[in-house]
Amino acid sequence: MLPELTQEEVLRYSRHLVIPEVGMEGQRKLKAASVLIVGTGGLGSPIALYLAAAGVGRIGLVDYDVVDESNLQRQIAHGTDRLGMLKVESARKRLLELNPFIQVDVYNEIFSSENAETIASGYEILVDGTDNFPTRYLLNDLAVLTGRPFVYGSVFRFEGQVSVFDARRGPCYRCLFPEPPPPESVPSCADAGVFGVLPGTIGTLQATEVIKLILNAGQPLIGKLLLYDALDMSFEVITLRKNPQCKVCGEHPEITHLIDYEAFCGVPARPHPQVEVGEGFDLSPEELAQRLQSGASPVLIDVRHPVESQISALPGALQIPLEKLPTKLQELNPQAEYVLFCRTGVRSARALKIMRAAGFQHVKHLKGGLNAWAERIDPKMLRY
């Protein structure tokens, strides 16, 4: 039995009600629907806002973070007045400001194999608003094992992807990506950057797919992967096929329950602000400053993208981006002393492992990166 619409709701959704594909019955379906959005950042913001505006009756929001100033370039559910607020609470406040006729549930915790089934219980559609592979594989497997659709989206710099994975009618995410990429090959949003408007485009497309699923209208992106490039404003649709050998939705599935997805992907679902590579290889900002002041002359290597040096830099450092480091090692002296650095220490830790594996013995990395240097050594240096 679908819920009735009040007079206030009829007025609010009147532009929907005159569309034949929606009408009163469709709007009542939206009011009866329940959607779980994991992530309330760049993608989760437009997804949640448009589902709330459309009148989806129950929206669940999962996140574990607080609003940071660097989020506001793209995470439009939040605002300057909410810096430091839990993201789920900030998003809930915004959604209810937009539409007080809906229910918004919040879960301030990391979405994991231990709590996923409990949190997702009662929601019809699962939506990916995340930026990490462990949570993405977890959402996919949960959707397959419980017979629900999974609306997928991802962004990287100027490019984005959208699909609907529903193993009952087509392939799942694992059919397309059986294994996660190597951790070192996938830079984070903080390291690679993202065009501010891109999550809005992709998140809106995801919200569109959710609403189509609820209304049973049009053709959802089941069995299709939509690719978007903002630089040349191009859309491409690739046809996907179900993999009979898929480990979760294939003919002989090996995965019959939720697993440890951080171990499977080799990365944490929640990135650590600093990376420690072990005793003897971390160099604090104070230690580096002391060595430079004492006349020691280690070779400084900046493994960031060259454009980042426009923000901050250490004088005299070599610029060798992390992705180019393996091909540049032959140009370096294995006997020299090196100190690697980046923005926060994540990429320099990866660079250190590459150099150590290649036989470089005298190499360390700046723990906390240039942001830590700016906070503790040079307050005039810009942090980002």
Q: What CATH number has the domain bearing residue 119?
A: 3.40.50.720
Last residue of a domain, one of 230, 265, 300: 265
| 282-283, strands of its sheet edge to edge | 282-283, 363-366, 338-341, 299-302, 318-319
User: 41 pLDDT band (50/70/90 cuts)?
Assistant: very high
Residue at 28 is within a domain: no
Check pLDDT > 90 for residue 331. yes
Query: Active-site residue among 172, 175, 189, 249?
Result: 189
Check pLDDT > 70 for residue 273. no
246 is catalytic: no
Distance CA 182, CA 338 (A): 25
Residues 236, 345 within the same domain: no
137-152 pLDDT tens trace: 999 999 999 999 999 9
DSSP single-letter state for residue 337: -
Instruction: Give the pLDDT mean for 42-66.
Output: 98
189 is catalytic: yes
Quote the pLDDT of residue 295.
83
Residues 225, 145 within the same domain: yes
Last residue of a domain, one of 210, 236, 265: 265
Percentage of the residues of the chain whose pLDDT score is greater than 90: 92
Contacts of 282 (CB under 8 A, 6+ apart): 276, 364, 365, 367
Quote the pLDDT of residue 276.
52
pTM for the full model? Answer: 0.88
Range of the domain at 219: 33-265
What is the sign, positive or negative, of the torsion defined by CA atoms of 193, 301, 334, 337?
negative
Percentage of the residues of the chain whose pLDDT score is greater than 70: 97
Which value, to the nearest 10 degrees, does the dihedral of the CA atoms of residues 42, 47, 50, 56 take?
-150
Helix (H) or strand (E) holding 62: strand 58-63
288-326 pLDDT tens trace: 999 999 887 899 999 999 999 999 999 999 999 999 999
How big is the chain, counted in residues?
Answer: 384
Burial 318-333 (b: 16+ CB within 10 A, else e): eebbbeebeeeeeebe
Residue 302 is part of a domain; what is its CATH number? 3.40.250.10
Residue at 212 is within a domain: yes
DSSP secondary structure string for all residues of 142-204: HHHHHT--EEEEEEEBTEEEEEEE-TTTS--HHHH-SSPPPGGGS--HHHH-B-TTHHHHHHH
Residue at 25 is within a domain: no
Label residue 154 exposed, middle or buried (CB < 10 Å: 0-12, 13-18, 19+).
middle
* Cα separation of the two ends of the chain: 52
Instruction: Give the pLDDT mean for 64-82.
Output: 97
Q: Which token pair is 268?
A: 């944490």
Residues 254, 310 within the same domain: no
Check pLDDT > 70 for residue 349. yes
Residues 250, 289 within the same domain: no
Check pLDDT > 60 for residue 346. yes
pLDDT averaged over every residue in the chain: 95
User: 272 pLDDT band (50/70/90 cuts)?
Assistant: low
Quote the pLDDT of residue 277.
60
Residue at 4 is within a domain: no
User: 267 pLDDT band (50/70/90 cuts)?
Assistant: confident
Quote the pLDDT of residue 271.
59
Residue type for position 178 = P
Q: Which token pair is 33?
A: 């629907």
Instruction: Give the pLDDT mean for 265-292.
Output: 79
Instruction: Give the pLDDT mean for 155-182.
Output: 97
Residue 381: closest CA among 308, 312, 325, 324: 312
54-64 pLDDT tens trace: 999 999 999 99
| Angle CA 247–251–254, to nearest 5 | 30
91-132 pLDDT tens trace: 999 999 999 999 999 999 999 999 999 999 999 999 999 999
Residues 158, 248 within the same domain: yes
More confident: 153 or 274 = 153
Residue at 20 is within a domain: no
Label residue 127 exposed, middle or buried (CB < 10 Å: 0-12, 13-18, 19+).
buried
Residue 117: closest CA among 276, 232, 10, 257: 257
Residues 188, 160 within the same domain: yes
* Domain total in the chain: 2
SS3 300: strand
Query: Active-site residue among 172, 175, 249, 342?
Result: 342
Instruction: Give the pLDDT mean for 164-168.
Output: 98
Quote the pLDDT of residue 191.
83
Check pLDDT > 60 for residue 275. no
Check pLDDT > 60 for residue 44. yes
Quote the pLDDT of residue 221.
98
User: 183 pLDDT band (50/70/90 cuts)?
Assistant: confident
Distance CA 328, CA 104 (A): 52
What is the sign, positive or negative, of the torsion defined by CA atoms of 81, 86, 89, 94?
positive
Distance CA 368, CA 174 (A): 35
Last residue of a domain, one of 265, 295, 323: 265
Residue at 9 is within a domain: no
Quote the pLDDT of residue 187.
79
Residue type for position 318 = L
Quote the pLDDT of residue 185.
76
Residues 231, 360 within the same domain: no
